Amino acid sequence: MLLLLGLMLLTAAADPPGADGPPLRGPGLGFSPPDAASPSAPPPLLLRPQPGAEYAAPGVASARSAAEEPGRGGEEEEEGGEHHHHHGGGYRVVQWEWSYVQTPYIIATWLLVASVAKILFHFSQRFTTVVPESCMLILLGLVLGGIVLIANKKQLYQLEPALFFLFLLPTIVGDAGYFMPARLFFDNLGAILTYAVVGTLWNAFCTGFCLYAAKLLGVIDDRVQADLMDFLLFGALISAVDPVAVLAVFEEVHVNDTLFIIVFGESLVNDAVTVVLYKVYISFVEVGAENVQTADYFKGVASFLIVSIGGTLVGLVFAVILGFITRFTKKVRIIEPLFVFLLVYLAYLTAELFSLSAILSMTFCGIGANKYVEANISQKSRTTVKYTMKTLASIAETIIFIFLGISAVDKSKWAWDTGLVSCTLVFIFVFRAAGVIGQTWVLNRFRLVPLDKLDQVVMSYGGLRGAVAFALVVLLDGEQVKAKDYFVATTIVVIFFTVMFQGLTIKPLVNWLKVPRSTNRKPTINEEIHERAFDHILTAVEDIAGLQGYHHWRDKWEQFDKNYLSKLLLRKSVYRKSELWEAYQKINIRDAISVIDQGGNVLTSARLSLPSMASRASFPEVTNVTNYLRENGSGVCLDLQVIDNVPGAKVEEDTETHHVLAENLYKPRRRYQSHYSRHFMPLGEKERQDREVFQRNMKSRMETFKTTRHKRHKKERSLKKRRGSDTKDDGGDKPRRNVSWQDKDPVVVPVESEEDKAEHSDQEKDEDVGITFVARKVETPKPRPTSVPADVDGYQSPTAAHHSPVGGDSHLPWKGGLGSPPPCVSVEATKIIPVDLQQAWNQSISSLESISSPPPPAEPVHPRVIALSRLGGPRPASYSPSSSQEEAEEEEEEGGAASQEMQPLMSSLRPPGSLPPPPPPPPGSAPGSGRRRNPCVYLKSLVTAPPAGGSELHSRGPTQL
Amino acid sequence: MGALQSLHGRPEYLDLAEKTGFSFEQIRVLHERFKQLSHNEETLRRSHFNEIPDLACNPIRAQIIEAFFDRRNYHQNGEGTVEEIGFEEFLVVMSHFRPPSLHMTEEQRENVRREKLRFVFNMHDTDNDGTITLEEYRHVVEELLSRSGALEKETAKSIADAAMLEVASISMGHMEPDEFYEGITFEHFLKLLDGFEIESRMNIRFLNMDTSTLCK
């Protein structure tokens, strides 16, 4: 894609200042490619003699030829600073190779200027909130253009239609299409189509006819040699709302989603109308209005249908191809994003090739493929795609606006007529408003959510014209359309007026009218759940009422998608996940990330400060993150637990301190293979640290969650435990801490994707496999990584679980290959990714469920629990010395016992008072019993007695990841 | 036939129209549908609903059907469920999905909102005790996911649990150490879906024409 960008910019800078290349062509047009450059460039226009054709064809060729000339002399050595240019023979140490690098050099300089300009605009926060960026860019363009004009007496740079249509526009449309909120788009499809088709036609015809009328009335000067056809043509190209301008302005305004999608969707979809109208009129202008036959009008209509539907189909076909390809990119993650760019761009080019609506094609390719691609590609690729698209779109937008400004300076190409300009301005504004009001009136009879007056005002006012119109008008043939220069001037004025004046004032207007804004709030889980629930409810009610409404068909489509399309286009591993699950997963990840964002700080700072507080009598036992979260009310905050501050012994504090240090200091645990690979990205140090922070956070959250959920058995456990281990638990010299074995031992608990059964042998090397909650004791003499394989077997079959943790290291697929096993965990297993998080969740929760309910035969958790508790291996001495085997058994009994007691509670209990009174807490003499946390919030069914001392130790052990 | 029927049915419709806000035309269409569903009987039973082919793959079919037989949805402060419903009940339940009029005061909007949310709440609150308990909520989520296969059972549970925790954190704010979260009360439910424009979401466009002929 970068290459493409480079290519496109080659063309931009085709006429460098001071280049001794071919002389500038007549009207200063850089070039237009000999083949159909744009949908709107009908062949006749392109037949215009191109003096610079050889120059034009591929920008690269010119660069190459330029390269050969100086290169002929001898070896080239480029050295930035000084340059000696020895003519004549001999070896030249340093050469001035301007002509070789000029094109890319200029491109790069342009990009730099544009980017720096953006930086500068955003220096002043207050300024940018008032003035939209697009205005600033146009102004900058005007200034730059002025400078170039003064310096060169000639305008060297122009917004080239070919450059625009082939490179700049697709980057913006691709970004818009790919990230288009599909649901919103289709929910409002009716309105969008109406505005795009009917509205644009209305605007085009009315503007055309009225301008002609104005001409007849003498308002427009006689110098403007144009007849009805010319005006209709002009009306067609000036009437379409421009996606680039709309995006640029509306992105800053943040109107509500529906309003935005209608205006923006319209600007994308009306491309088909514009293209067809433009082409039809061009051909009419060519043959002359009097020769147009009735059949031609019908051809025009047919052509509209073909262009729009054909463009859409091309886009959908490419969407399917794209989805299908990304199904198989598991092994080539590094080029995964490339497929997205290439195919989306190819969708555009292919539509151009057949002179269909390229914007429609690209938009629908993006909309269609997004769902499948996002599900298929890895998290990193997703990020890459997102950022690359945004970067390209942003830079393309910048260039477009700057070039618009620059083009406006060049007086040689336009001719001013006040009548034409003012009439056009008035007409497009009036007809836009009239069209919107009329159509909305009709639409509101059908819409469930009517568009109110405010919406209509914003829609009328948001009818911005932009670079598409400019490129189209520049493409006009001056021979055929006599008034071209007038039209160019008018278009420029219209664009400037709409983008600058309306763009500048729309924000105050929206504020003043109090148009509902979009809230940037992400939906909560409950909202997501109800979102789905409503879809189904509405579908069901429609079905019951016997109506075949929107929901009915949407549901049909979803079933089709689920049964056929998703099967075809999604990887097996993601196919079976429902949307709700995905939403949940996203929320979870988002939440986890926000925990890191906010909590990361707290974690490190607060915890690291602990040593200094060691002398304090009360000592927060667990992490502060949970507290922090609680206070912040973070969405899925799982902290339902209050931390009791209980005085602890000095010994305990020391251990705590020690533990805190051990946990929080990042140690160079292993040398990561630092080899360079083009195909795999090594994990950065930073990333690993982030990961650890993440893991720790998640771990603590999980603990919290579980302890909360399972208070119920804690007390039992504790009783049991007390009984069982009292003898061994001699004295409090080694405090029993809930910093239990898993904190000391390297334990890897991978979590697999259940459905990956088929694929588990070829584990996705990438991060899609398992999340691992790792904790280790750095001081362990010989850190021994113990892992449960991240596959189904380890999870579902008890036997596998039994042997794999300890003995099975060698046969783990990814274990053998690793030269130096990391002390902590293998790289592959520890990446964090939504899937894993999700699964970790599931597992943590399901493992709890298994305890709280009679373990069904298929219950997969117990085995693993056992396995886990076994692989505890070298436990810290502080841990209660019940053997792992015993413990596992105990675990099971307890689970059973607990579940028996759980049952009645689950079903019947309502008021907390009705609970069976909790058994008295164990004797306070038990070591560590004072340092317990108190549960604070319970889900009803999990209501439990106040926890008893020592309980976590046990309850957390097996269930904790 | 149609004319005869509508003549015959008018007085009855008048009453219904007042009660439910449907237009005569809409009532007529729905009556047609009612008769189609009930095989020209006076009442509808659950089995009739189960016969609707399009409904077969709806994951929360059971809940929705149940909502039609739930006395709480009849605007009469009733409780419990009934075995069969007449056209009036059918229509009253349907009227929960009627789009509100375009011009509402803020108060009316709030009322519509409450009414619609109450319907959904009742749907979740199967035992009619005023709270959606975790069990009930889990059930909802499980049903929602049931279309996605058996795999989702565990997931559903975890999602419901997480959602419930979220409710607790949203609605209770700071809880004291020994507080319990009972379940979602209606007030919490309102709060929970605050950002959810239900008054514009939970609507169906009831047509004036009869599309039931299109249905098999």
Backbone angles phi, psi at B195, to 5 degrees: -85, 10
Cβ-proximal residues to A805 (8 Å cutoff; 6+ apart), any chain? A786, A787, A788, A867, A868, A870, A871
Looking at residue A824, its pLDDT comes to: 39
Q: Do B88 and B135 have their domain in common?
A: no
Residue A530 to residue B200, Cβ atoms within 8 A: no
Domain annotation covers residue B125: yes
Gap between the Cα atoms of A14 and A63, Å rounded: 10
Taking a C-beta distance cutoff of 8 angstroms, is the pair A576, A624 a contact?
A: no
Owning domain of residue B188: 103-208
How far apart are the C-alpha atoms of A838 and A836, rounded to whole Å? 5
Pair of tokens at residue B54:
């399009």
pTM: 0.63
Residue B33 class from Cβ within 10 Å (0-12 exposed, 13-18 middle, 19+ buried)? buried
Instruction: Decide if A543 and B173 are in contact by the 8 Å CB cutoff.
Output: no
Check A530 against B147: CB less than 8 A apart. Answer: no
Residue B4 lies in a domain: no
Below-50 pLDDT ranges, chain A:
1-86, 599-651, 666-674, 707-837, 840, 844-961
pLDDT in tens, A404-431: 888 888 777 778 888 888 999 999 999 9
Q: With an 8 Å Cβ cutoff, is B181 touching chain A?
A: yes
Q: Are residues B26 and B55 in the same domain?
A: yes
Q: Do B111 and B203 belong to one domain?
A: yes
Report ipTM (2 d.p.): 0.86
Q: Which of B96, B119, B148 is the last residue before a domain boundary?
A: B96
Give the span between the Cα atoms of A132 and A334, in whole angstroms: 37
How far CA A308 is from CA of A43, A234, A283, A698, B87, in Å, comes to 20, 21, 19, 50, 46
To the nearest whole Å, the CA of A519 is away from the closest chain B CA by 9
DSSP-based helix, strand, coil % in chain B, nearest 5: 65, 5, 30
The pLDDT of residue A81 is: 41
A710 contacts on B by Cβ (under 8 Å): none
Gap between the Cα atoms of A489 and A495, Å rounded = 10
Q: Let me know if residue B6 belongs to a domain.
A: no
Best of B54, B122, B153, B184 to mutate (most A CBs within 10 Å, chain A) = B54
Inter-chain contact B178–A541, Cβ cutoff 8 Å? no
Q: Is A525–B162 a contact, with Cβ atoms under 8 angstroms apart? A: yes
- Look up residue A662 and give its two tokens: 């051990």
User: Residue B71, exposed/middle/buried by CB under 10 A (0-12, 13-18, 19+)?
Assistant: middle
Shortest CA gap B144–chain A (Å): 7
HSE-up of residue B54 (Cα within 13 Å, Cβ side): 26
Closest CA to B59 of A755, A560, A532: A532
The residue in chain A having the minimum alpha-carbon distance to the alpha carbon of residue B171 is A633
Neighbours of A712 (CB within 10 A): 26
Structure letter (DSSP) for residue A879: S
- Report yes or no on B79 lying in a domain: yes
Q: Does B62 touch chain A (CB under 8 A)?
A: no
Residue of A nearest to B206 (CA): A547
What pLDDT score was predicted for residue A210?
92
**Tally of helices (H runs) and strands (E runs) in chain A:** 44, 7
Q: Do A937 and B170 touch (CB under 8 A)?
A: no
B174 and B158 share one domain: yes
Which helix (H) or strand (E) covers residue A852, if one does?
A: helix A834-852
Rounded to whole angstroms, how far apart are CA atoms A842 and A961?
11
Residue B178 has pLDDT above 80, yes or no: no
Q: Quick check: B205 and A448 CB within 8 A?
A: yes
* Residue showing tokens 């409450």: B114
**Alpha-helix residue ranges (DSSP H) falling in A410-502:** 418-444, 453-461, 467-475, 484-496
Question: In chain B, whose CA is at the least distance from the CA of A911?
Answer: B182
User: Is B111 found in the same domain as B202?
Assistant: yes
- B188: burial class by Cβ within 10 Å (0-12, 13-18, 19+)? buried
Chain B residues closer than 8 Å to A936 by CB: 175-179
CATH of the domain at B84: 1.10.238.10
Residue type at A763 in one-letter notation: Q
Instruction: Tell me if B215 is assigned to some domain.
Output: no
Inter-residue contact B215 to A547 (CB < 8 Å): no
Which residue among A527, A638, A842 places its CB closest to the CB of B196? A527
Q: Which residues of B touch A523 (CB under 8 A)?
A: 195
**In sequence order, which residues have a C-beta less than 8 Å from that of residue B46 and are 6 or more positions away?**
B65, B69, B83
Substitution target in A448, A451, A526 with the highest count of B β-carbons within 10 Å is A526
The answer to whether B58 contacts A540, with C-beta atoms less than 8 Å apart, is yes
Q: How far apart are CA B199 and CA A73, in angstroms?
A: 78
Q: What is the pLDDT of residue A365?
A: 94
For Cα atoms B72, B74, B75, give the angle at the middle one, nearest 5 degrees: 90
Report yes or no on B112 lying in a domain.
yes
Q: How far is CA A286 from its chain centroid?
A: 46
CA distance B92 to A156: 72
What does the pLDDT look like over A57-112, one tens digit per residue?
333 334 344 444 444 444 444 444 444 444 556 777 888 888 889 888 988 988 89
**Claim to verify: residue B87 and residue B172 sit in the same structural domain:** no
Smallest Cβ–Cβ distance between B165 and the set A519, A539, A640 belongs to: A640
Please name the residue of chain A whose CA is at the shortest distance from the CA of residue B162. Answer: A636
- A-chain residue closest to B140, CA distance: A533
- Across the interface, whether the CB atoms of B58 and A543 are under 8 A apart is answered yes
* CA atoms of A641 and A459, how far apart (whole Å): 50
Residue A897: predicted pLDDT: 42
Residues B163 and B200 in one domain: yes
Check A578 against B147: CB less than 8 A apart.
yes
> Smallest Cβ distance to A940: which of B32, B54, B181?
B181
Higher local confidence (pLDDT), A902 or B142: B142
- Is A935 within 8 Å of B177 when comparing Cβ atoms? yes
Count interface pairs A-B at CB distance under 8 A.
217
What angle, rounded to 10 degrees, do the helices at B152-172 and A579-594 form? 50
B87 and B110 fall within a common domain: no
Residues of B (143-172) whose Cβ lies below 8 Å from A: 144-145, 147-149, 151-152, 154-155, 157-159, 161-170, 172
Where does residue A89 fall: left (phi above 0), alpha (psi -120 to 50 degrees), or beta otherwise?
beta
Last residue of a domain, which of B67, B96, B125?
B96
Query: Of the candidates A14, A350, A317, which has an alpha carbon nearest to the alpha carbon of residue A156?
Result: A14
| Last residue within a domain, chosen from B46, B74, B96 | B96
Q: Say whether both B89 and B110 belong to one domain.
A: no
Q: Answer whether A842 sits within 8 Å of B158, measured CB to CB.
A: yes
Q: Tell whether B63 and B21 lie within a shared domain.
A: yes
Residue B196 lies in a domain: yes
Q: Is the Cβ of B91 closer than 8 Å to some Cβ of chain A?
A: no
Taking contacts as CB-CB distances below 8 angstroms, the residues of chain A near B87 are none
- Is B130 in the A-facing interface, judged by CB distances under 8 Å? no
B155-169 pLDDT tens trace: 777 777 777 777 777
DSSP 8-state class, residue A517: B
Statement to judge: residues B38 and B88 lie in one domain = yes
Render pLDDT for A236-261 as a digit per residue (tens, 0 to 9).
Answer: 889 889 888 888 888 888 888 888 89
Clarify whether residues B121 and B193 are in a common domain.
yes
Q: Which two tokens stand for residue A906?
A: 């689950």
Asked, for residue B2, whether it belongs to a domain, the answer is no
Which chain A residue has its CA at the smallest distance from B183's CA?
Answer: A940
The answer for residues whose C-beta is within 8 angstroms of residue B137's C-beta and 6 or more apart is B124, B160, B163, B164, B183, B184
Of the partner residues A577, A754, A938, the one whose CB lies closest to the CB of residue B181: A938
pLDDT of amino acid A575: 64
Cα–Cα nearest to A773, from A859, A870, A691, A707: A691
Tell me phi and psi for residue A837, to 5 degrees.
-60, -45
Q: How many domains does chain B have?
A: 2
Q: Specify the pairing of strand B44-45 against strand B84-85.
A: antiparallel
Chain centroid, CA A143 distance in Å: 35
Alpha helices in A860-918 (DSSP H): 861-870, 884-908
B174 to A630: CB separation less than 8 angstroms, yes or no: yes
Interatomic CA distance for residues A479 and A458, integer angstroms: 39
The length of chain A, given as a count of residues:
961
Distance from CA of B119 to the nearest CA of A (A): 11
A937: three-class secondary structure by DSSP = strand
